Amino acid sequence: MAKKHLIITNGTVVTNELITRGTVVTIGDRIMYVGNEEEGEKIKKAAIPGVFEIIDAEGGFIAPGFIDVHMHGSAGLELMDGTEEAMRRMARYLAKSGTVSFLPSTVTAMKDKTRAVAELVANYVGADDEAEVLGVHLEGPYINEKYKGAQYGPAIRPADLSELEELYAILGEKLRLITLAPEIPGCLEAIRWLKGRGVTVSIGHSDATYEEAIAGFEAGITHATHTYNGMRGLHHREPGVLGAILSYPGIWAELIADLVHVHPGAIKVMLSSVGTERIVLITDAVQATGLPDGEYMLGDQQIFVSDGAARLAEGNLAGSTLTMLRAVKNMIQEIGVSIPEAFTMASSNPAQSIGLKDRGRIREGNRADFVLLTDDFEVQKTIIAGKVAYSAD
């Protein structure tokens, strides 16, 4: 049966502004028209029966689908399980919660385990009811022990170009993002090597001084991993990693907006310095996401979830149980950003931060990735590349 194109009507379209009673038309996996109700009605009347599927947004939001560039697991499984079933369960869960594409993230692990996970991602083929796997985010292992957080200490090591060459040979362009600490031996050389191959490099789990962080930026770092968390903080005589991120132009700054990892006041400081145009909302979600409080795993370490907050036994935060939808709602309802700004931070900014130019924004020519929400932000449909991947009906 031939695939139907889509006409999505009767919703508020979230672009740089809000288009009330808007219409979006897709042909294949591309957005062909974005506009108001009047033009939408003309298109509906002219549409060839059987070629277009008409979707009524029922007065809710037609928004860009979420893109999560930093998450570890959900629904009871995680990337480091190293199985196709883990990938599939995560991807299906994400589609149900409005996320259209994502980077599953490793944790610091021994070489053989990291290589096995890289092979899994390189060979994974998703299904129509799953969020798209864009590649992999390597969080570590070239990080600083002092700010390891919930990373596995025994596997932390200096940068190793031979290991990177092996991983790149497996993944190619699917090696999308890597978190490292620029002050660690070999990392500046690694940053330049990665930049030359189009891999986005992020500063994180770092005890770099302000000057060392800036040296990393000048070598090619363009991204910051869970800003505020796992890094040397701001002091007025030594601005540290945080000061470098907040002051250096052009850095994409991740934010876990669960209101646990970062105080609302600190989020407002970040907004005033980095701006909505550079903040990247992430979840840093672990396998407990979508499940009750209890005991779970993050890589090789046991974590404990209480009141939705995930921690190691010694009390360190260990990822989150956040969803992208909850992060957006928090930014709108608790921080006070506008609806278009919140969605930009959850869709367009993540896409741009890893070099994807045609994703994350509802405009003509872009890929047809949407989340349809009720007016109180409940997911009704997730549409990925012009196909309905999830429907609450």
Q: What is the dihedral of CA 335, 134, 139, 190, to 10 degrees?
A: -120
How far are the Cα atoms of 144, 196, 225 from residue 297, in angstroms, in the given order?
22, 35, 21
Q: What is the dihedral of CA 363, 365, 369, 375, to 10 degrees?
A: 20
Give the catalytic positions in this structure: 284
Cβ neighbourhood burial of 338 (10 Å; 0-12, 13-18, 19+): middle
Cα 330 from Cα 337, distance rounded (Å): 9
Q: Are 360 and 69 in contact (CB under 8 A)?
A: no
Cα 165 from Cα 172, distance rounded (Å): 10
Name the token pair of 236.
Answer: 């007025």
Q: What is the Cα Rg of the chain in Å?
A: 21
* Alpha helices, H only, the chain: 37-46, 84-96, 111-123, 161-171, 187-195, 210-219, 240-247, 264-273, 324-330, 339-343, 349-353
Q: How many CA atoms lie within 13 A of 82 on its CB side?
A: 12
CA-based nearest residue to 39, from 64, 9, 13? 9
Cα 332 from Cα 203, distance rounded (Å): 27
Strands 136-139 and 309-311: unpaired
Residue 225 per-residue DSSP state? S
Strand partners, 366: none
Cα 345 from Cα 162, distance rounded (Å): 35
Element (H, E) at 256: strand 252-256
Name the token pair of 78.
Answer: 């995680």
